[in-house]
Amino acid sequence: MSKPTCYESEITQFLHQYRDKHPGVEERQLEGRARLWDKAQDLELQERLRAARVPQRPYVYQND
């Protein structure tokens, strides 16, 4: 009796093939993420910005 195979979509198959043909792509993705998103956070600056916020009026176009 043969073992049933799992379904893989065409996209999943393409991604597997792409990773096989382009070694190192995952490392480059992580480098790009680190460059754009993984930044150290300045908690004091965030607190000052939060405290300096001016509440928005319910209807911003109303002239008072």
Average pLDDT per 10 consecutive residues for the chain, totaling 64 residues: 78 95 94 89 95 88 78
Residue 23: the pLDDT is 93
Residue 7: the pLDDT is 94
Q: Are 42 and 35 in contact (CB under 8 A)?
A: no
Query: For residue 21, which of 30, 29, 13, 32 has the smallest C-alpha distance?
Result: 13
Residue whose token pair is 């999943």: 12
